[in-house]
Structure 1
Amino acid sequence: MKLQAVSNRKLYIQIADQIRDQILAGAVESGRQLPSERDLAVSLGVSRPTVREALIALEVAGFVEVRVGVGAFVRDQSRGSAALPDEGNSPIEIMQVRRLLEPEAAALAAQNISPDGMARLAETIRRMQAETIGNVWSSDSDRVMHVTIAEGSGNSVLREMLDQLWNSRSEEVDTKFHEHLAAISEVREHILEDHGKIVGAILAGNAAAAREAMATHLDFVTAAMLKAWD
């Protein structure tokens, strides 16, 4: 019997493998731009978001440089590159699960958060506003806000699930994905506005408004992640 090994590697890593092999074979010279996301998606028979995740995995490993709004360019391989980040979760799949859980966490926090949690949220928003004025984006402040809301929900199971999702956010591909988003000033400003609405609703004890504000925020971030970059 001739059997083919079954791969359980994530699809975006399998795509990254193919593009990496083409780069190493010299199909695209150093400094040259790869085909567009659209063309790669058509050639590979996958979605553009999957191609985008693959390109960011290649960027993390040092094979390409992703320029938002332009495309991906092959880097000089003479110094070698790192292995592809094979253990990371799909950033888009992480967002899909956050969209299921975090709106309800915000609604529960509006009903259950402690005075200390409220003070921490208010201080975090002030810090985010100062960072935005300084044209800086802090993933630490972002995490503090969302984790504080999860803790404020009063549901330990929900908090643990969201902790796990935010630990996934620290994986290399996800981190780089959000760095690209944060580099877009309009996205940063929109996110800060969303955060203000979420925290305002929680501090006011308005569960319905907190749920809606969080859902709207995560829908925006997901749309920004899926928006064409080239």
Structure 2
Amino acid sequence: MTAPAAPKLYRAIIDTLQDEIATGKYKPGDRLPPERELVERFEVSRLTLREAMIGMEIMGLVEARRGSGVYVTERSADILSPSDLDIGAFELTEARRLVEGESAALAAVTANAGDIAALREVLDRMVAENERELEDEVADRDFHLRIAEATRNDAMVLVVQTLWDVRHRSPLSMKMLERSRRAGVKPRIDDHRAILDAIAAGDAHGARKAMRDHLGRVIDHLLTATEIDRIERVRAEAAELRNRVSRFATT
């Protein structure tokens, strides 16, 4: 008999905190402990903890207040379950980094002149989408799928396409990507151009590295965009300091 799969780390955090809210350890209006304390308590990365916090926001359990922290909300009868959240953007991007790194390396060996021309056309569309600040980022998806198609491996195409489909189907992933866009993060043209140049040069090692570096930076940007507690608090404190200095200077 197969043992049941262990729950995802972010779901385990949500389950624990949800139980503590239900039993009154944290009441509506209470501020949850700071990120540093929760990371140490659950022995997880900041990425995992932020997935959990955003998941709890989607479920209606907490709300993030600018410059203050994360607070328990009034409980609602129609609260979602952690299983409704699906896969988070951090977890998904880690998987993409592994799979699409190999996709780019293989494409560097198999791509022909037509594939390279198609990738250049998609990159031009990506530049245009960035300039028009479009939210759908269709060209970004097309670029990565074109690379998979250039591998001449239908299984690779299916895996890459599935990862992108999950990206848009998962409520947790979409919420995190929405925050990233609000923070001004757009597809990195230089990253994609480096990937394309390596594939065009037939450099499998370079293509793999360029793709992994690119998706590593995507994770870094998601991390920055979800710095709810620390960054907003620092900004609020800096604004207050400027106000005090300004008042002092006019007295």
Give 2:179's aligned residue: 180
Instruction: Answer yes or no: is 1:215 the counterpart of 2:182.
Output: no
Instruction: Answer yes or no: is 1:193 the counterpart of 2:202.
Output: no
Distance, in Å, in 1 between the alignment partners of 2:196 and 2:148 is 12
**Preserved CA contact (<8 Å) 2:32 2:72:** yes
**Preserved CA contact (<8 Å) 2:28 2:71:** no
Kindly provide the amino acid, as one letter, of the partner of residue 215 in structure 1: R
Alignment gaps of 5+ in structure 1: 1-5
Give 2:249's aligned residue: none
Instruction: Answer yes or no: is 1:147 the counterpart of 2:145.
Output: yes
When residues 136 and 23 of structure 1 are mapped into structure 2, their CA distance, relative to the original with a 3 A threshold, is farther
Deviation at 1:192, TM superposition (A): 3.0
Distance, in Å, in 2 between the alignment partners of 1:217 and 1:70 is 32
Question: What's the TM-score, normalizing by structure 1?
Answer: 0.76
When residues 201 and 18 of structure 1 are mapped into structure 2, their CA distance, relative to the original with a 3 A threshold, is same
RMSD: 3.3
Kindly provide the amino acid, as one letter, of the partner of residue 181 in structure 1: S
Q: Secondary structure at the match of 1:154?
A: coil
Give CA-to-partner distance per residue, 1:108-149, whole Å, 9 cap, x none: 223323555444433332232222223344343322221221
Deviation at 1:15, TM superposition (A): 1.0
**Preserved CA contact (<8 Å) 1:60 1:85:** no
**Which one of 125, 128, 132 corresponds to residue 127 of structure 1?**
125
**Which one of 41, 66, 82 corresponds to residue 43 of structure 1?**
41
Moved more, 20-29 or 49-58: 20-29
Report the identity percentage. 35
Give 2:32's aligned residue: 34
**Preserved CA contact (<8 Å) 2:126 2:139:** yes
When residues 105 and 126 of structure 1 are mapped into structure 2, their CA distance, relative to the original with a 3 A threshold, is same
The runs of at least 4 aligned residues of structure 1 exceeding 6 Å deviation read 67-70
Q: Secondary structure at the match of 2:70?
A: strand
Distance, in Å, in 1 between the alignment partners of 2:210 and 2:166 is 23
Give CA-to-partner distance per residue, 1:90-116, whole Å, 9 cap, x none: 543333332222122112223323555
**Preserved CA contact (<8 Å) 1:13 1:86:** no
User: Which one has the largest radius of gyration?
Assistant: 2
Instruction: Answer yes or no: is 1:224 the counterpart of 2:221.
Output: yes
Kindly provide the amino acid, as one letter, of the partner of residue 198 in structure 2: A
Deviation at 1:203, TM superposition (A): 4.1
Q: Secondary structure at the match of 1:8?
A: coil
